Structure 1
Amino acid sequence: MKLFLKTFRMIGIEKNYGFNFKKGLNFISGPTSTGKTTIFELIDYALGAKQHKSYIEVGQKCTDIELEIILDNTTYKIKRRLFDYKLPVLIEIFDEANQKFLEYGIFDVENSDNEKSLSSFLLSKLGLGGVKIANQNLSFRDLFKYSYLKQIEIDNEDILSSESNPMLNNKRKSTFEIIFNFYDQLLGELKSKLKESQEELKNETLRYEGIETFLKTSNIENFESVKLRRNEINQQIIELKALLGDKSNHKSEGISNPKVQELNATVRLKKINLKKHYDELNDKEEYIGKLRLLSNQYESDIAKLDATIMGIKGVNKYEFLICPNCMKPLEKHQNKANCHLCGDNMDEIVENTLILKTEKKNTVKKRNELEKHISYEVTEKINLQKVIKKLNDNLNSDERTLEELTEEYVNPFIEEISLINMILGKYYKELDGLENSLRFIKELNRLTLLLSDKEKEVDRLKKQIKGKANLNDKVSTFNLLSTRFSKILKEFQFPKLEKAYVNPKDYLPYVRERKYNSLGSLGAVTLITMAYYLSIFVETEDDTYNHLNLLMIDTPRKNLGTSSQNEEFQDEEIYNSVIKYFISLDKTSSEEMQLLIINNGYPDFLPKKDLIVEFSSDGRVGLIDDI
C-alpha cells in the first residue's frame, strides 16, 4: 500500500493521548463531543492542512500532534505544533538497527511549492515529486482529497469543492487522471524529477563520504567506545572537582586579616550577581530576536499587500489588445469603469482594494507598536549591559585588592590546586573532542538512513517511469470505474437504482441519468458520494495507480436511517448494508488498503477486532479522558 497510518498521538503537558491503527478496517465509535472527528481533523492537520479547529480541551492539555506513517516500507514520524499554524513540521525517520527515530529534516507547511515543504517530501516518497498539473505543481493535498471524506462534505453537492471554480476543477480532473494513470504529461514530469533526484543522491553521497573519510583519518572508533570513554572522563572530572573543592576550602587558612575574609565574601556575592545579570541579558537578547522576527513578518505582509494593491491598479492602466496569458486577441473595451482585460465591472475590485488597504493599515499599526516595544527592550538591554560593565569593573578591582593583600602569604595548597586545574583542563579538551566525534558519528548514522531513503526514491521513480510508459486507456478505466460504482450502490441497497456511472467528461458520478447533485435528496448524495470515493479507492489497489490506498470516512450514517428527512432512505437496512460493505472490503483487501471510519455507534455484527477506539456515553472515556 502507498501510505499507511501507524500511530496517532497528541503530546500532552501531563501525558500523551493516542492509539495505533491497523491494516484494513479501523472503526472509531462514540457519542457526540467525545473527540472522534477531532482525530481525523488532526490527522489532516499533520498531513499539511492549513489549520485545525480551536478545540478548548486540546489547547488546555496538548502542545503537539505526532503521526507515525509508513511510506515504501520506511517509518516516518511527523510532528507539528498545535495552534501555531505557520511553524514548520519536524520529520523523523525510524532507525531499524537501533530501534529509535532520528531527525530527517524540517519542512515548510505554508508553501507546498517549496522543495523543502511537507507536500514535496510526501510526494517524493510516493514517486510523484515535481509533477505539474493545470500549470501548477501537484500537491499532496490534491491527492489527499480523494482519501478524506469529511462529515461536512459527505452530503455536499459540490464534490471536492471545486466544480464552481474552473481552476480548481481543472486541477481536480488532472489529479484524477494521475490517480488512474492516464495523465499524458506524467511520464515527462517523472523523467525530469528522476534527473533532479539522481543529482541530489550524488550530492548526498559526497557528503556522506566526506564525513566517513574524516572519521577514518581521525582514528575515531565506533559510537559505543567513544561513549564509554566519555563516561570515564566525566567520572574523573567529578572526582577531581570534589578534590579541588576540598583543597580550595583550605586556600585561605593562615590568613587572619578580617578585611581579606570580608573581601572574599564580597567577591563571591558579586560573581553570583554578575552571572544573574548575564543570564538576564541572554534572555533579553533572545526575546528581542523573536520580536524582530515578528516585525520582519509584518514587513513582509505589508509588502505583499502593497504589491497586491498596486497590481490591481497597475493592470487596469492598460487597454490590452491581446491577453498577456494566452496571447489571443481581446476586444478593446470602451467603458472606463470596467476592467480593461476582462470587461467586468470594477465595483467589486474597488471594494477588495478598500479591504486590502484596511488590512494594510492595521498591519502597519501593529508593526509600529511592535517597533516601539522593540526600541524599549533595546534600551533596557543597553542599560543592563552598562550595569554588567560596572559590576565587572568593581569585581576586577576587588580581585586585584585581594591579590595584593594575600601576595605575601604562600599557601601550601596552591601548587596542588594548579596541578588539579591543569589535569581538568586536559580532560575538558579531550571531552570536547569526544563530543565532536559523537556528533559526527550521529550525523553519519543519520546520513546513512537519508542516503538509503534517497536511493529508494530514485528506484521508485525509475519503477514509476517504467510502469507509466504505457498509460491506461481512458475508456477502459471509466468502464471499470462505472461498473464498480454501480456495484457498490447495489451493495448499499440504493433505492430505485437505475443506470449509475462515472462520466468520462466531468469525472463525476451520475445516477438515474442525473448528476449526483440534482437528485433532490441528501440521503442520496451521501450514498453516491461514499460509493464514488469507494469505487476510486477499490479500483486503484494495485501499484499501477497512484491512489494512497487510504480512505477516511467521517459519519457514514449521515442522512440515513432515522436521521434521514427522505422516507426512502429511512430504512435502517441501508445503513447496515454500508457497514457490511466496509467489513467485506476488510476481508478481501485488508493487506492492500486502510479504511478508517468514524461513527456514532455501530451495528452488533461489526467484528470487535475492527473496533480500534470506542469512547463512552458517560463522557469519562474520550479522546482526552482526564478533564
Structure 2
Amino acid sequence: MSNSPSIILEKLKIIGVDKNYEIKFREGINVIWGDVDCGKSSILNIISYCLGASSIDTYDELDAKARSCQVFARFNGVRYIFERDLFDKDQYIKCHKEYLSEDKSPRILSPSINKELDAPDGYISFFILDILGIPRTEIKVSPSKADSTMNRVGFKDILKFINLKQKDIASDSMLSMNNAARHVKHKEVLKYLLNIHNEKISSIHAEISNNTTSLKRKESEKKGIFKFLEDTGFDIDYDYEKKLLESDFLISEIDNTINSMKKDHRLKIEFSSSVKNELSAINEHILWSAEKKKELIDNLEKYTKLKKSYLEEMKSITTTIDIEARFSIIPDKEINCPICSLPQKGILKDESISIDSLKHEKLQLKRKITGLSSLIDNTRCELSDIERDHKIALDNLDKIQSKYDVKFANEVSSLVETISLLEKEKIEILSSKKVSQRDKKIISRLDIIDEEVSNLEKIISRLETDLVKANENATNPTDVIKNLNDIFEDLMINSGLSNMSNVYIDKKMDYHVRNRAFTKLTSGGVRTITSISIFLSKLVYAINHDSNFPTLLMLDTPGNNIGRNRDSKFNDAESSDPELYENIYRRLAIISDLAKDADKEFQIIVIDNDLATATMGDPRFYIAKRFSKSDNRFDHGLIDDIRI
C-alpha cells in the first residue's frame, strides 16, 4: 500500500439564514447530477473555498439563503471540520477536530499566508499539510536560476491538482498552461508531490532540522505548562467534561425547581419582585466580593514574596558595602579577615564595584520596599474592606430573609428561603462551572500541543523514511515520469479516441497526444479526454506509489465538449461519440477496483449534467445527489427552498 495521504470528504453543510443545507459523500466514487444552472459546480467550489481557496463565486440563491459553510472530512483517517464565512473571505477559518463542541475551542486559522502570524493557529494551507503528514517545503519560482525566489508550498497549491474545474477542462487555463511563469511553478509543485523535487535530499535534511526544532519548542512549552500546573496543584486527570455536564444538569434542575415554585398561585400574588431583585443583587455582590477577596489574597501573597526578595537583596548589598569598606585599602597591605581570621591583601579599587553604586542600588531597593510596603498595606486595607463588605452583605441577606419570614408567615417565608438557598447554590455551581470551563480550556491547550507534537513526530518519521529511501534508492526522476507516463498512456489508449499514437509525458513534464503538446491540440473532444486523463493519471499514481498526492479528485462536468448521443449539429465527430462519455465512467470504475486491490482509501466526486449508463446499478458509484428544476421528487439545487 502506498503512503500517499488520503482525504475523504464526508459532508458539505451550508449554514443558512432560515435552515441548513447539506450533502453527504462516501469513500469511493460519488456522482452529483441534474439540470444545468442548479448550482452543482458551486458544490466543489465551496468545498475548495472552505479548505483554503482564495475566493468563491456565489450565486443568487446562495446570496439570499446562506451565511457560512462547513466541510466534514477525514484526513488520513482523522476527522476535521472546517467552517468559513461565505461572504467575508478575510475572516478567520475555524477548525474542529473529531466533532463540533461549544465547550471545546476550535483552531483559528488564517485564510491568507499574509496573515499567517495574526491567526492564533497559523495558515490553513500549512495546517492541512501538517494533518496530512506532508512535510512543508519551498520550491524555486524559476528552477533554472540559482538566485530564484523560493515559495512555500501549501495545500492551496495541491488543490489545483485535485480539483478539475469545468472552465479548465480542455482549456489552456488548466494548470495555468497559458501562463508560462505560473505553469513552471505548477510543475515544480508537481515534482514535489511526486517526490522528485530538485535537491530532494538536502531539502529533507532542512525539513527534518526545522521540524525537530519546532518539536523541541512544543515539548518545552508542554513541559512548562505541566510544571506550572503541578506547582499550582492542578488536577490534570480530572474529568472536566463530566463536571461541566453535572453542573449543567444541576443548574437545570435548580431552574426547574425555582420555576415550579414561582408558578404557585400564592407565590404569584405575594412574592415581591423588589425583594427578589434585592436578593439577587445581594447574591451577585456576595459572589463578586468572594472573587475579589481571592484576587486580593493572591496579590498580597505576590507582593509579600517580592518584598521579601528585595529585603534579601538589600541585605546582601549592605554586607557587600561593609566588606568593601573593610577591604578597599592600600594594595599589598595584609589584614586579618573578620570571617576566617586569615591574613588577606587589599583589593584594588578598579577591580571592585564602587561604594557609591552599591549605595545607590540600596537606596533604589529601599524605595521599592517602601512602595511595596505601602501597596501591601493598601491591599490589606482593601481586603479588610471587602471582608467587612462581604459580611455586611451576608447580614443584609439574613435581615431581608428574617423580615420576609415575619411578613409572609411560615409557608411563604419557607418558600422564599428555599428559593434563596437554591439561588445561592446556583451561584456556587455557576462559579464552579466557570472554573471548570477555564480548567478545561487549559487541558484543551495541552491536547492541541499533544496533537501538534504528534503531527511533528509523524512528519519527522515520514521525512526520515523518505531520507532513507532518497539515500538508498536515489529515485531517478526518469523512473517516476515513466510510471506516470504509462498510466497516462493507458488512460488515453482506452479512452475510445482513435489514433492514440505518440502519447507521452516529456522530460519537462508536458503532456503530448498524437505527438502534439496539449496546448496545440485542436479537437475539443481530444482536449477534454486529455484533461481528464492528466488528472486521473496523478490519482492512479498516488494510489499505487508513494507520493505527497492526496487520493482525492473533484471532477466537474467531464462530459464537457462531449455529447452523450451522436448528433449532426456537432462539427467534431469525436466530440459526439457517446462511447467517449461512457468510457470516462468505466475508467473511474476501474480506478475504484485498483484502489480496492491496493487497499488504499480514495475518493472521486463527479459533477455532471447527465447520468452515464455505465453507472446505473453499479455499486461502485454512489449517487450523492440529483437536482431537477421540473421534477418535484428531487431538490431544485443545494439551496432547496427557493423556486425560480
Q: TM-score range by the shorter chain?
A: 0.5 to 0.7
Is residue 39 of structure 2 the alignment partner of residue 35 of structure 1?
yes
What is aligned with 1:94? 98
What is aligned with 2:367? none
Q: Structure 1 residues 420 and 16, CA, compared in 2 at 3 Å: closer, same or farther?
A: closer
For 1:178 and 1:559, the matched residues in 2 are separated by: 32
What is aligned with 2:477? 474
What is the 5 A alignment of 1:193-592?
A: 193-203=210-220, 205-206=222-223, 209=226, 213=230, 216=234, 222-225=240-243, 227-228=245-246, 231-232=249-250, 235-236=253-254, 412-413=406-407, 423=421, 426-427=424-425, 429-443=427-441, 446-447=444-445, 449-469=447-467, 470=470, 472-505=475-508, 507-542=509-544, 544-561=546-563, 562=567, 565-590=571-596, 591-592=600-601
CA positional deviation for 1:207:
6.5
Contact between 1:92 and 1:101, CA under 8 Å: does it hold in 2? no
Contact between 1:104 and 1:446, CA under 8 Å: does it hold in 2? no
Contact between 1:537 and 1:550, CA under 8 Å: does it hold in 2? yes
Q: Which letter maps to 2:215? A: Q
Q: Secondary structure at the match of 2:98?
A: strand
Is residue 72 of structure 2 the alignment partner of residue 68 of structure 1?
yes
Q: 208, 226, 250: which one pairs with 1:191?
A: 208
CA positional deviation for 1:440:
3.6
Q: 8, 12, 18: which one pairs with 2:22?
A: 18
For 1:90 and 1:165, the matched residues in 2 are separated by: 35
What is aligned with 2:311? none
For 1:42 and 1:125, the matched residues in 2 are separated by: 21
CA positional deviation for 1:584:
1.3
Q: Secondary structure at the match of 1:520?
A: coil
What is aligned with 1:389? none
Q: Structure 1 residues 27 and 414, CA, compared in 2 at 3 Å: closer, same or farther?
A: same
For 1:243 and 1:143, the matched residues in 2 are separated by: 62
What is aligned with 2:321? none
For 1:41 and 1:60, the matched residues in 2 are separated by: 18
Is residue 154 of structure 2 the alignment partner of residue 139 of structure 1?
yes
CA positional deviation for 1:196:
3.9
What is aligned with 1:314? none
CA positional deviation for 1:182:
1.1
What is aligned with 1:388? none
CA positional deviation for 1:29:
1.1
Is residue 625 of structure 2 the alignment partner of residue 613 of structure 1?
yes
Q: 598, 605, 609: which one pairs with 2:607?
A: 598
CA positional deviation for 1:548:
1.1
Q: Secondary structure at the match of 1:77?
A: strand
Contact between 1:244 and 1:420, CA under 8 Å: does it hold in 2? no
Contact between 2:236 and 2:443, CA under 8 Å: does it hold in 1? no
Q: Which has the larger radius of gyration?
A: 2
Q: Which letter maps to 1:72? A: N
What is aligned with 1:125? 131
Q: Structure 1 residues 238 and 463, CA, compared in 2 at 3 Å: closer, same or farther?
A: same
Contact between 1:91 and 1:103, CA under 8 Å: does it hold in 2? no
For 2:466 and 2:86, the matched residues in 1 are separated by: 39
Q: Structure 1 residues 244 and 58, CA, compared in 2 at 3 Å: closer, same or farther?
A: closer
For 1:224 and 1:555, the matched residues in 2 are separated by: 49
- Render the CA deviation track for 1:426-456: whole Å, top value 9, x for unaligned: 5355224311233145325534642442243
- Render the CA deviation track for 1:558-601: whole Å, top value 9, x for unaligned: 11235854223322112211111111111221543211111111
Is residue 105 of structure 2 the alignment partner of residue 106 of structure 1?
no
- Render the CA deviation track for 1:453-494: whole Å, top value 9, x for unaligned: 224312321232123211531011111111111110011022
Q: Secondary structure at the match of 2:90?
A: coil
For 2:51 and 2:512, the matched residues in 1 are separated by: 31
Q: Which letter maps to 2:627? A: F
Provide structure 1 residue ranges, at least 5 long, that are not aligned to the other structure.
253-260, 272-406
CA positional deviation for 1:222:
4.9
Q: Which letter maps to 2:435? A: S
Q: Structure 1 residues 113 and 426, CA, compared in 2 at 3 Å: closer, same or farther?
A: closer
For 1:567 and 1:150, the matched residues in 2 are separated by: 24
Is residue 172 of structure 2 the alignment partner of residue 151 of structure 1?
no
CA positional deviation for 1:105:
0.8
Q: Which letter maps to 1:484? A: I
CA positional deviation for 1:509:
0.2
Q: Which letter maps to 2:123? A: S
- Aligned pair count? 475
Identical-pair percentage = 20
Q: Which letter maps to 2:156? A: R
Q: Structure 1 residues 218 and 465, CA, compared in 2 at 3 Å: closer, same or farther?
A: closer
What is aligned with 1:258? none
Q: Structure 1 residues 613 and 234, CA, compared in 2 at 3 Å: closer, same or farther?
A: closer
CA positional deviation for 1:104:
3.1
Contact between 1:108 and 1:117, CA under 8 Å: does it hold in 2? yes
CA positional deviation for 1:625:
2.1
For 2:103 and 2:72, the matched residues in 1 are separated by: 11
RMSD: 3.8
Q: Which letter maps to 2:521? A: L
- Render the CA deviation track for 1:247-301: whole Å, top value 9, x for unaligned: 997699xxxxxxxx9xx99x99xx9xxxxxxxxxxxxxxxxxxxxxxxxxxxxxx
- Render the CA deviation track for 1:399-436: whole Å, top value 9, x for unaligned: xxxxxxxx9xx873499799789856753552243112
Question: What is the TM-score with the length of structure 1 in the denominator?
Answer: 0.67
Provide structure 2 residue ranges, at least 5 long, that are not aligned to the other structure.
141-149, 282-399
Q: Secondary structure at the match of 2:488?
A: helix
For 1:544 and 1:586, the matched residues in 2 are separated by: 18
Q: Which letter maps to 1:615? A: F
